Amino acid sequence: MKTKSNIERILESGGFVVTSECGPPRGADPEVIRKKGNLLKGVVDAVNVTDNQTSVVRMSSFSSCIILKEMGFDPILQMVCRDRNRIAIQSDILGAGALGINNILCLSGDHQKFGDHPKAKNVFDIDSIQLINTVKILRDDGKFLGGEEVKGKPVLFIGAAENPFADPFEIRAARLGKKVKAGCEFIQTQCIYNMEKFTKWMEMVRDRGLHERCAILAGVTPFKSVGMAKYMKNSVPGMDVPDGMIERMKGVAKEKQSEEGIKICVETIQKLREIPGVRGIHIMAIEWEEKVAEIAQSAGLLPRPQV
């Protein structure tokens, strides 16, 4: 074991990992985080905390991680390259190490055009692959990007995201290969609805042997309604929702749609567990955290191994 990460420990023991996420509030009320946290107690092995997702200003991922840490969770600090240069990034990584955050998820970040401050200047001093490598260099070599020695290395389990449905599809596994080469130890994927394409992507991942060097956690998001399914299909960049899914949601009465969404999600998890190389599930129930326990239970993912 390189770190004190709960997910690293479970993966090393050959276990199947369950993670979920917690979106910080648009304000300074810590109770929002605690409330969301309480819904995930005993249900997940680690909790992602998003970093100003969709470029909308929220409570920082870092501070929300600390609130969850105090509740006994093993938080995953999401960090995007949109808002920080290499100086701020390395500084935050040191802080995360100091405060006992064990996991980091390295992301490029959504473009600010989508958020509530579209007139902002973006940074993108480094990209997500370079960020992965930055964490690795700090942790394993005890060096800053500038070459100086780190006094007290930050010990974080290194993760990243990958979207198997984005284009150009043919280089998606190669891109994951670059992440693994840079030091990535676990991957959480974009929400999976198109099982056929995901299966194909996993084949490409296995052909390169990447699943043995990096744990693939498959991402799922339950639909609350047919409206949400359509929105995900048409308006969320990089999302692949097959027409069949929309039809299936349409096929049930409005008041039964959320139930159907959960059902689809549970079935998806069951199929994903059968795919060689899938080492865990990442459940992203967007502003629907109260359903994570039910999904995990129905999918046979509970109880979770004791910390």
Partner 1 sequence: MIVANRKSLEEILNMLKPYKKVLLLGCNECVTVCAAGGEREVGVLASELKLSRAKDGQEIEIKEQTLERQCDHEYIDQVRPFVGDYEVILSIACGAGIQYVGEKYRTKIVLPGVNTTFLGVTLEQGVWSERCQGCGECVLHMTGGVCPIARCAKSLLNGPCGGSSNGKCEVDKDLDCGWQLIIDRLKELNQLDRYEEIIPVKDWTTSRDGGPRKRLREDLRL
Fill in the DSSP letter of residue 119.
Answer: T
Decide if residue 166 touches partner 1 (CB under 8 A). Answer: yes
Out of 39, 56, 94, 145, point to the residue binding partner 1 (CB under 8 A): 145
CA distance 61 to 8: 21
230 to 269: interface string for partner 1, x by CB under 8 A = -------xx-------------------------------
Decide if residue 294 touches partner 1 (CB under 8 A). Answer: no
Q: 12: which 2 tokens?
A: 């090393």
192 to 211: interface string for partner 1, x by CB under 8 A = --------------------
Q: Which of 94/166 has CB closer to partner 1?
A: 166
Nearest to 292 by CA among 62, 39, 80, 13: 39
Stretch in the footprint of partner 1 (CB under 8 A) among 108-116, 151-159, 264-272, 291-299: 108-116
Decide if residue 127 touches partner 1 (CB under 8 A). Answer: yes
Beta bridge mates, 109 = none
Pairing type for strands 215-220 and 278-283 reads parallel
Q: How far is CA 36 from CA 20, 41, 51, 76, in A?
A: 11, 9, 16, 15
Pairing type for strands 75-80 and 278-283 reads unpaired
Out of 43, 182, 218, 293, point to the residue binding partner 1 (CB under 8 A): 182
Q: Which of 113/250 has CB closer to partner 1?
A: 113
Q: 88: which 2 tokens?
A: 């701020």
Q: How far is CA 81 from CA 93, 116, 177, in A?
A: 13, 18, 20
The contact set with partner 1 (CB under 8 A) reads 81-82, 86, 108-111, 113-114, 122, 124-130, 133-134, 145, 161-163, 166-168, 170-171, 174-175, 177-178, 181-182, 190, 237-238
